[in-house]
Amino acid sequence: MPKLDKLSFDEMIAISKKMFYGGFAFLPFLWLVNFIYFFRQTRKPAAPKLLKQYVHWSFAGCLVWFVALTIWYGLFVNERSNWGAVGDTLTVVIPKGS
């Protein structure tokens, strides 16, 4: 990607918008990259409101995905053996002794 100092705010908005909508394709890491890449630009006084919205919504989406995957992982690890055949079907490698 080009240096941010050389981009206009319109170009930044276009890139941020693509990364934001790309995150909906089950790519929450893209939202995190969008946030990290453009966060400093949103702190500038001249930063457009639309850029700030895409960056902040990307961060919020990334947090939601992180929380959801963490909850799923915790449930799966602790309750897999109680789920019977469904738990075994979802498991790629069945641990010995369970």
pLDDT in tens, 70-98: 999 999 989 988 988 888 888 887 667 65
pLDDT in tens, 29-48: 999 999 999 999 999 999 99
Alpha carbons 80 and 29: distance in angstroms, whole number? 27
Check: CB of residue 35 under 8 Å from CB of residue 53: no
Q: Judge if pTM exceeds 0.85.
A: no
| The two structure tokens encoding residue 62 | 């990334």
DSSP 94: P
* Predicted pLDDT at 50: 96
Q: List the domain boundaries for the chain.
A: 4-66
Q: How does residue 59 score in pLDDT terms, banded at 50, 70 and 90?
A: very high
Residue 68 vs residues 59, 73, 88: alpha-carbon distances, Å: 14, 9, 21
The percent of residues in the chain predicted with pLDDT above 70, rounded, is: 93
